[in-house]
Amino acid sequence: MAGQEPTAPAHGSPKLGYTNTNNSAPLPVMTQTDSRDKWSKKMDFLLSVIGFAVDLGNVWRFPYICYQNGGGAFLIPYILMAIFGGVPLFYMELALGQFHRTGAISIWKHICPIFKGVGYSICVIALYVSFYYNTIIAWALFYFYSSFSTILPWTNCDNAWNTPDCTNYFGRDNVTWTNSSRSPAEEFYTRNVLEIHRADGLRDVGGVRWQLMLCLFLIFTIVYFSLWKGVKTSGKVVWVTATLPYVVLLILLIRGATLPGAWRGVVFYLKPQWSKLLETSVWVDAAAQIFFSLGPGFGVLLALSSYNPFTNNCYRDAIVTSLVNCLTSLVSGFVIFTVLGHMAEMRKVEVEDVARDKGPSLLFITYPEAIANMMGSTFFAIIFFVMMITLGLDSTLVVLLLVIVCFLGSLSTLTYGGAYVVKLLEEFGVGSSIIVVGFLEAIAVSWFYGVNRFSNDIKAMLGSAPGIFWKVCWVVISPAFLAYIIVSSLVKAPPLTLFDYKYPDWSIKVGYMVALSSFMWIPIYMVYKLLWTPGSLKQRLAVCLRPERTIAEINRDALNMAAIP
């Protein structure tokens, strides 16, 4: 109508109102008083997203997977998977959270109600993550404390925890490295930090390490007081936790580049083994890495973006933060491979023969071993483990009740055999389940909610709809690459090992039960929703698949009506 001045759509508690500047009858428009917290500054949000996406996985998971898959050959599928899979899903979650301004559970009533179980699964997965992820940060805190000494405790074989296999080859020309040799750094990690030799696998994990329990308690205390006032507090904390790692990485990169033999690691990192591109496992690992690195499916991006203003440019945020994340992984690769090249030079072996095990051992054995033999080793050890702690802390989101639950749930990972539990939870509690969640989320949004409806939501926020590239990725490519990971992981599951321990068959079955315990809420809720919705089966399906009208849609319809002469 002429003279109509519509109120801009907002999100929060609905309130009926209207604006009218002529004498015609008032036209109702849904407006809102937004009671939801907002970020104090735009940079608070960006650093929080970067802090979540850039975590320990960038420092240990990416370099190790790259190491296992032929160095430079892995970078090709990694970049392709990022462009066509990871970044589109990252953008999708930021846009969903900002438009609907709600969390991972309640958002489904606005998308496709029958998929609400996905939100519950995300919560269970997040719980499993908290059981082991904070334990890894506690290990870093133990190292940080141990670093305050003139001589770092993992530099020699003269300690009470060392064995006859301990071999210190730095600064010595007549030492031969064999398959049974163990470095001082490895024995410090396995026999002093973990005391894993006191456990008999998963059958007898032994008692709780009180030193690690104290470290974990301190970590949870820091997490709680960083978040107890919501985004107003966490938005300030990330200014330190999200930026400090880059300062440390730069320092370590410069130092690593000056180490003898560093060039050998860089060559291995950048020179592709082209035959590796013909192996399916390389592409599966690349897809899995970019998915875990950017973090869609965990619900955190939904939560963080829900505190943004409605018109915030989430497209630009997605591109910037994704680029920062991927570049961080690439830089971390240079940092790690310069060190691996140095270690290969000292041991007189090939670069591919340096690292033994997958997972945190790359952080807690390989790096401390190299740092211990640098000039100013105490300084470099301190800043390295500060970086690890901050990388972990700004990826953790919990409140007081969850802090208590997560701390109690983490006790099994603090035992002498806790590292075995950490590995099991990492593999089954998160791995397969979160990929299934991401796949179903992509299907629900692009197929059931509808890519056109979703594009209109983005247009309402940004003023322009996403291009054809994003639509094709959301509808076809991203779901396809997630389905590819799921099928490939089911067809060929590698044996699970840690150090010299091979996980028994019964523990693998337990792992699948853990995975099922998070995924099962999706079909359970689907059945519940269909049974409790009134009407015929056809009517029930229509109701369960149709999103509830959001406040923004009511606003948009009212404004369209107002524009009719």
Of 131, 126, 133, 134, nearest to 521 by C-alpha is 126
- 395 annotated to bind ligand: yes
Of 344, 389, 391, nearest to 366 by C-alpha is 344
> Is residue 107 predicted with pLDDT exceeding 80?
yes
Instruction: pLDDT band for 418, please (50, 70, 90 cuts).
Output: very high
Section 111-128 average pLDDT: 91
Instruction: pLDDT band for 170, please (50, 70, 90 cuts).
Output: low
Residue 276 pLDDT: 82
- 158 annotated to bind ligand: no
Residue 49 pLDDT: 79
Section 342-348 average pLDDT: 81
Residue-wise pLDDT for 268-294, tens only, equals 888 888 888 888 778 878 887 888 888
Top-confidence residue, 207 or 298:
207
Top-confidence residue, 46 or 164:
164
- The pair of three-digit structure tokens given for residue 96, joined into one six-digit string: 């969903």
- 58 annotated to bind ligand: yes
Residue 24 pLDDT: 35
Instruction: pLDDT band for 16, please (50, 70, 90 cuts).
Output: very low
Residue 13 pLDDT: 33
Residue 297 pLDDT: 83
Round to whole Å and give the CA distance between 66 and 333: 8
pTM, whole model, 2 decimals? 0.81
Q: Coil, strand, or helix at residue 263?
A: helix
Residue 237 pLDDT: 59
| Angle ∠(100,101,102) on CA atoms, nearest 5 | 95
Residue 20 pLDDT: 37
Of 33, 59, 93, 115, nearest to 333 by C-alpha is 59
DSSP letter (8 states) at residue 463: S
Round to whole Å and give the CA distance between 381 and 255: 12
Amino acid 427 reads: E
Residue-wise pLDDT for 374-417, tens only, equals 778 888 888 888 888 877 766 556 456 778 888 898 999 999 99
Q: Which domains does the chain have, with CATH numbers?
A: 36-532 (1.20.1740.10)
- 59 annotated to bind ligand: no
Residue-wise pLDDT for 475-523, tens only, equals 999 999 888 888 887 776 677 888 888 999 999 999 989 989 988 999 9
Instruction: pLDDT band for 564, please (50, 70, 90 cuts).
Output: low
Burial of 410 by CB count in 10 Å (0-12 exposed, 13-18 middle, 19+ buried)? buried
Where does 351-504 have alpha helices with state H? Answer: 361, 367-371, 377-393, 400-409, 418-424, 432-443, 451-462, 468-472, 478-491
Q: Are strands 497-498 and 501-502 parallel, antiparallel or unpaired?
A: antiparallel
Top-confidence residue, 488 or 564:
488
Instruction: pLDDT band for 5, please (50, 70, 90 cuts).
Output: very low
- 138 annotated to bind ligand: no
Residue 112 pLDDT: 92
- 394 annotated to bind ligand: yes
Of 186, 209, 239, 203, nearest to 47 by C-alpha is 239
Residue 15 pLDDT: 32
Round to whole Å and give the CA distance between 18 and 6: 7
pLDDT over 90 for what percent of the chain?
28
Residue 562 pLDDT: 60
- 179 annotated to bind ligand: no
> Is residue 17 predicted with pLDDT exceeding 60?
no
Round to whole Å and give the CA distance between 64 and 70: 10
* Beta partners for residue 497, in sequence order: 502
- 391 annotated to bind ligand: yes
Of 134, 155, 125, 148, nearest to 55 by C-alpha is 134
Q: Are strands 29-33 and 13-17 parallel, antiparallel or unpaired?
A: antiparallel
